[in-house]
Structure 1
Amino acid sequence: MLDLFQGARLTPTQRRIAHSLVQHGPSAAYLSAAEVAELAGVSQPSVTRFAMALGYAGYPALRRELRALVAVPAAPPVTGENPMQRALRAETGHLDRVADDLEQLSTVRRAAALLAATSPLPVLGLRAAAPLAAYFGYFASKVLPDVRVLDDGGTALLDRLDQACAAGASAILVIALPRYPRETLDALREARTLGLGVVALTDSAVSPAAEHADVVLAAPVGTQLVFDLHTAPMAMAMVLLQAVCDAAPEQAQRRLEEFEATAARRHIFEA
């Protein structure tokens, strides 16, 4: 179902409708326009305009397409595989989707240009996204002069955003993964109010974070285990960092060489 919305230029209201359809899965294909409107908290005409924005004559045509999609039987699991094996194999499909999206590099390059040009670079990731924010921040600090990982919520979070802006920040990387903490979305809105360019690394082009972002990098999460797998978002984070290095290659090379010299002098690594 998500493939129907990928690449479409949707308004924030239309993104909300798409997100509601994705969240309700196959059952969404049997809802009326009024029911979809109620789920998404929008008007019924907005649902019609959403369908037309996707190229359909109206919502009934879109619903027929959704029903056709959910009627396609899922591929049978490989004989003898247990649920954990299937969950991990599904990650290869997510990586394939990310790789397909990278056939055209304009989006990731636009994101990299925003992040390479800002100093400091705030990297926001709360709750489930906090480890990925720290991972990106650790490596980004090797090539950028001032990376500030914002992985704690609470009342001080917006203060730290203010401080980054006062220090000269012009953009922020926001990592927003399900279940989309309210504090993340509040911080995203505040970042826009402060005039920061926003790059959102999230699981879907129609996630709640996407409507507040200048650039959206979508990487699906695995949902077949008790807790989500973040294989594709981690891969996308490293692709983004590579693009940041490519956007400012001389600076990246110089800082990497400085780090290696410091690491050798301090005997940081054994090998």
Structure 2
Amino acid sequence: MSELAGLVAAVTGGASGIGLATARLLAARGARVAVLDLSTDVGVAGVLAVACDVTDDASARAAIGAVVDRFGRLDILVNNAGIGAQGTVADNPDDEWSRVLDVNVVGIARVSRAALPHLRRSPAAAIVNMCSIAATAGLPQRALYSASKGAVLALTRAMAADHVREGIRVNCVTPGTVDTPWVARLLAAADDPDAERAALAARQPTGRLVTAEEVAAAVAYLASPLTGAVTGVALAVDGGMDALRTRPAAAS
């Protein structure tokens, strides 16, 4: 598939996990891709690595500027950079709330506002934000993270309304539990990693974790000019977790 041929995409948080899978897929579909991350160790041939701290406005503007200087344009922005948090509302101090919201929510605003002047000149402009099942389903021990992703969902819809007349589509992907390095670290810290993995898999009706490549495919779909009529949408890639209410599996 080459529907992205001639287009330029920037992926924040693209050095690992979902972001890296997305960068690889966009490149495979013909886009020229830049990864914007604190780490520039990407290891994907042909992908431009640009140092970027989404919590710093100057860094975000410089990173977007570097992409446009290199490729001459910007058509697709994937706001994937994010961090996690565990616990109830009683478990995280104020500075942790500020840190997570700064990366997960304000970071999207910083990079997007730096990109908007360039996206306005694109004939196929698209922004895809990385949301989460935590925005639409109450998950235990995820109060801060859920609050940040609920904000991402609301922000996506507001951005879509603000920029639709400028020809810029804005959508988000809401993954379920994805088999990423971050989840692997959580599992490693659990008292019984195997039991915890089984529990995470079981809460998704498909009975398994989502793969980073499956999320990347959803991002590529929303970024493609072939979906030019799709904006303001939250695309679930969660194994049916949010929408389905399946009966318990029969005992063997």
Structure possessing the higher radius of gyration over alpha carbons? 1
TM-score, with length taken from structure 1? 0.24
Q: Which has the higher helix share?
A: 1
TM-score, with length taken from structure 2? 0.25
